[in-house]
Amino acid sequence: MSEISTLKKPLETAEEYVQSLRDMKTEIWALGEKITGIPDHPLFVPHVNAVAKTYEMPFPVKSHLTGHTINRFNHIHQSTDDLVAKVKMLRALNQQTGCCIQRCAGMDALNATYIVTYEIDQKYGTDYHERFKQFLVYLQDYNLVTIGGMTDVKGDRSKKADQQRDPDLFVHVVAEREDGIVVRGAKAHLTGVSGAHELMVFPTENMKEDAKDYAVVFSCPVNTPGITYIFGRQTNDGRKLDTEHPIDQGNFKYACVGGECIAVFDDVFIPWKDVYMYKEYEFAGMFVEAFATAHRQNYGACKGGIADVLLGATYGICKVNGVERVGHVRDKMADMINLTETLYAGSIACSYEGRPTPSGAWRADTMLANITKHNTTKFVYEIDRIAHDLVGGLLATLPAEADLRNPEIGPLIERYLAGNESMCTEDKIRLYRLVETLSGGTAVVESMHGAGSPQSQRIMMLRDAKLEEKLKLAQKLVDCEGACGGQ
């Protein structure tokens, strides 16, 4: 049982949230070291700050289960208005932080689990849905942070979970006990472990009966014994350790991306009350689709908010360089705006086209959500390319902050990197570092592969396109009867 479960009252402020992480004492391996003081370690402080912003800007909503006022990240969508409010919240938060908020996967996992547990119970008469609702009320009442663990490490991609040489390359049940189950395996790309209280785990692919031990969905505190977290390196993460020179970090208060980890489950015990699917293998694919749709819905909003910050920084550099009114500069900035708003329009569109599920929860339109994410895999790179074009080569050759602070050479930097009088040299340098942080490295990779690589969206788009129905539309228009009238 997590130490966080002993809380006497909900977490209300960012300070209370950060203290709750200290109390949990979650351990994460990073750069060859086991780190326990997560909220106070310079490698993780920016990630924790990003999540803390969701306590400073909580976007309150009424719980449909209790009627209590809760944080929207723990809400189950009840209408298209909820779906739209979700993406507006994400853009607003990303505008304030310029980075991944880290709670999206958890929010989407909660909604997917609510939808699918209802379906399982309807078929088998199980009580997964009620179990999950009890867990959900706990999260809502105490205002806790949940993250999602979907992607298994997969091993040989040509083989399914039960066909791997090493059976632990997908998370699976290795023992069934009277009081629960024991799981083993590993999940990759877990966003936000450093700032989370609870973890939702669910399958990563469709499954058949032979893989039923891999068809498992559960929740557990992130500090559950037996889970080992290994932090992934990020572009320029060494700069975070140089706390004397924050300018070189670019977005020094907040993270670049979500602080992803590999999570290794070594015979981890999960009590039955926290198990929401066990061996109902035919529902694994439904979990994947429900989660993927919800998560891909987000990307035009999240990346749109970050692009807003990038656009502002790029404009500021153009302004201090005296070129903000040049024709080709304005054209290129218009292109950045067009791409940004097109991404956001996709998130809004798939939300407004959302529909209710049998559970009563609403989900975004699957086709439009996949289109939104697929556009993200392309448009973000183009937005970043234009930013690089506009700010110029100094982005790659800028001296370090230590040089700026040096009494001998600092004045030279101040003099020879100066622009016009709209901004001092140091502020110009700060904007350059921010552009560097927002437009390269792991931040761009996450735009490509977060919520699934481009091919996964193409698969779902082709499936949902209903090509045979579209063929019939075309045939009807020209009085075509198919294969010569069926002869």
* Residues labelled as active-site residues: 100, 104, 191, 260, 295, 299, 302, 446
Q: Write out the two tokens for 54.
A: 């969701």
Helix, strand, coil proportions of the chain in percent (round to 5)? Answer: 55, 15, 30
Beta-sheet pairing, 227-231 with 28-30: parallel
Residue environment code for 327-360, b if the CB has 16+ CB neighbours within 10 A, otherwise e: eebeebbeebeebbeebbebbbbbbeebeebebe
Contact between 147 and 206 under an 8 Å Cβ cutoff? The reply is no
145 dihedral zone (left: phi>0; alpha: psi -120 to 50; beta):
beta
Is 191 marked within a binding site?
yes
Q: Which residues contact 151 (CB under 8 A, 6 or more apart)?
A: 187, 188, 189, 204
Q: Write out the two tokens for 468.
A: 């045979």
Contact between 150 and 202 under an 8 Å Cβ cutoff? The reply is yes
Contact between 153 and 187 under an 8 Å Cβ cutoff? The reply is yes
Residue 68: what residue type? H
* CB-CB neighbours of 419 under 10 Å: 18
Side by side, the strands of the sheet bearing 198-201 are 146-149, 198-201, 216-221, 275-278
CA 424 vs CA 323, 366, 410, 415, 431: distances in Å: 16, 48, 13, 10, 11
Contact between 208 and 157 under an 8 Å Cβ cutoff? The reply is no
Which DSSP symbol is given to 483? Answer: S
* CB-CB neighbours of 8 under 10 Å: 5
CA 151 vs CA 139, 171, 224: distances in Å: 23, 10, 19
Q: Tell me, rounded to whole angstroms, the distance of Cα 91 from its chain centroid.
A: 13
Feature table: binding site for FAD? 191
